[in-house]
């Protein structure tokens, strides 16, 4: 009997549906939607199934992947401040217009940090190149570089326990274990400042990934006001662990570090927009979005080419299917996300006078477009009940999982943090951080069938929300 229960548990664990249904039963007891609204939502099942059929198995099958492949092969990486990003934006405006959408851009400020020549060499106890990748916003070293002895630690606590004179003028190497992104990324975000407070001359941080094939991962880092800015770069997990081993053997490790990175202030970029006009004049807007910019390594096929492309293909395919919802669906391809969602913040500032009435719902994908499992949701309890009911329409894709956001989609969090309702794609992204912000972020990460399913979800969810007789409730805090 125990064995039988174990087997049942395994089966449920594998396809998830039994478990989902049980959870669904629990929430539906808590939600008391007006029967009319429940019936209305249920009436969308046929159109949702049509969308899924066309996108996953019909005329549009494979198109999202093909289109994304052509795009990243053409433009490569698209860092804020680069010509490549602006060229990609010009191209996308054309693509959105070709799809019959109302296509335009809105200006946004973005940061303009430039990676220069970066090099690190271990000089003693033996000579070896140490591949590095500067972290976004890092200052450079002096010209010709700096020489420093290594202090290697596993944690901030270990660093703080050292006397200042043991750290002064040294290069701090952080070799923390992987715990989770949210935990381990603290060393990337704050490692330079914490080391500078102890008098260090530079910091090298273990790449933030659970698995490495000698892979460098960049990402944004934050200097604290009033603390000296020191150069900071990522090293591979392999090198961080090696330096820690050697340091703990009391070997004296000397590194030459040169970084010519420079912050050039603010540049102009654009958010790229493609609209499917609603039937209703001056309707509120359902936003469906991802960011077009990427880091300057890899080609940003995953982060966030996939998210941006399922967003705009959702709207493209609705248009092609002749589906015009009550409200306008606005695909927004954000700019300058990677170094602090500059595009979304500019967009919010430009729309601050109108946003309360302008926006009905925000949808985003920025944590992978692997096989989708459902969506996470931010908003009031009442809105949640409506959203959960709509989410059930995705049963044909086995993607009805509901969650509350843990990290939150950074771009739409500009609104959801203030009480606007919004949702992000959930997907089987267990390996997301293997590729994140590295040269491994390429088309090989993206699967055509998974992308089709993601696009179908964005099309179906945005259509139903945009067509519903009622607005999704908000509770806006200003």
Query: How far apart are CB 7 and its own copies at their closest, in Å?
Result: 5
Residue closer to its own copies, measured from CB, 297 or 308:
297
149 is catalytic: no
What's the min distance (Å) between Cβ of 374 and its own copies?
Answer: 27
Q: φ, ψ for residue 150 (rounded to 5)? A: -90, 135
In the complex with its own copies, which residue's Cβ is closer, 195 or 450?
A: 450
Q: Closest CB to its own copies among 166 and 444?
A: 444
What count of Cα atoms within 13 Å lies in the side-chain half-sphere of residue 176? 23
Residues 6+ apart with CB under 8 A from 273: 96, 102, 103, 104, 105, 106, 330, 331, 332, 333
Query: CA angle 59-60-64, nearest 5°?
Result: 165
Hey, what are 73's tokens? Answer: 């092969």
* CB nearer its own copies, residue 357 or residue 449: 449
Where along the sequence are the contacts to its own copies (CB under 8 A)? 3-4, 6-7, 10, 69-70, 73-76, 125-126, 128, 131, 212-215, 237-238, 241-242, 245-246, 249, 298, 434-435, 438-440, 442-444
Calpha distance 311→337 (Å, rounded)? 16
- Nearest alpha-carbon partner for 293 in 348, 231, 220, 189: 220
Q: How far is the CB of 445 from its own copies (least distance, A)?
A: 9
Q: Is the Cβ of residue 440 or residue 457 nearer to its own copies in the bound state? A: 440
Nearer CB in complex with its own copies: 73/407: 73
CB of 70 to its own copies, least distance (A): 7
Nearest-approach distance from CB 231 to its own copies, in angstroms: 23
Question: Cβ of residue 237: shortest distance to its own copies, in angstroms?
Answer: 7
Catalytic hit among 337, 338, 389, 446: 337
| Catalytic positions | 337
């Amino acid at each position: 009997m125990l064995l039988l229960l174990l087997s049942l548990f395994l089966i449920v664990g594998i396809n998830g549906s039994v478990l989902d249904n049980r959870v669904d039963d629990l929430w539906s007891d808590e939600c008391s939607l007006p029967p009319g609204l429940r019936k209305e939502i249920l009436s969308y099942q046929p159109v949702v199934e049509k969308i899924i059929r066309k996108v996953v198995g019909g005329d549009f099958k494979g198109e999202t992947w093909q289109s994304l492949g052509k795009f990243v092969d053409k433009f490569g990486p698209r860092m804020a401040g680069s010509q490549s990003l602006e060229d990609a934006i010009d191209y996308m405006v054309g693509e959105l217009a070709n799809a019959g959408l109302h296509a335009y851009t809105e200006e946004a400020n973005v940061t303009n940090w430039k990676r220069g020549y970066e090099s690190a060499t271990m000089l003693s106890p033996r000579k070896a190149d140490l591949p590095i990748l500067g972290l976004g916003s890092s200052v450079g070293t002096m010209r010709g570089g700096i020489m420093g002895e290594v202090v290697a630690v596993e944690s901030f606590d270990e660093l703080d326990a050292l006397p200042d004179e043991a750290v002064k003028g040294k290069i701090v190497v952080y070799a923390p274990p992987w715990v989770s992104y949210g935990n381990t990324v603290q060393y990337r975000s704050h490692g330079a400042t914490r080391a500078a407070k102890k008098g260090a001359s530079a910091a090298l941080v273990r790449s933030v990934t659970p698995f490495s094939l000698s892979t460098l991962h960049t990402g944004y880092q934050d200097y604290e006001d009033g603390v000296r800015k020191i150069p900071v770069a990522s090293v591979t997990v392999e090198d961080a662990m090696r330096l820690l081993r050697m340091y703990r053997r009391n070997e004296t490790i000397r590194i030459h570090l040169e970084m010519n990175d420079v912050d050039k202030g603010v540049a102009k970029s654009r958010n790229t927009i493609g609209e499917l006009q609603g039937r209703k004049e001056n309707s509120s807007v359902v936003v469906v979005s991802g960011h077009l910019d990427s880091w300057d390594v890899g080609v940003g096929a995953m982060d966030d080419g996939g998210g941006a492309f399922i967003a705009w293909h959702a709207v493209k395919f609705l248009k092609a299917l002749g589906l015009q919802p009550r409200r306008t669906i606005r695909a927004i391809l954000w700019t300058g996300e990677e170094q602090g969602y500059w595009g979304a913040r500019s967009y919010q500032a430009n729309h601050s006078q109108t946003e309360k009435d302008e926006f009905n719902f925000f949808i985003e994908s920025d944590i992978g477009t692997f096989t989708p499992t459902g969506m996470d949701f931010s908003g009031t309890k009442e809105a949640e009940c409506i959203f959960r009911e709509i989410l059930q329409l995705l049963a044909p894709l086995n993607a009805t999982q509901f969650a509350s956001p843990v990290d939150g989609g950074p771009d739409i969090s500009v609104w959801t943090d203030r009480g606007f309702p919004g949702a992000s794609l959930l997907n089987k992204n267990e390996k997301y951080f293997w590729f994140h912000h590295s040269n491994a972020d390429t088309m090989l990460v993206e699967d055509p069938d998974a992308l089709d399913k993601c696009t179908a979800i964005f099309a179906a969810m945005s259509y139903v929300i945009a067509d519903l007789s009622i607005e999704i409730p908000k509770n806006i805090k200003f």
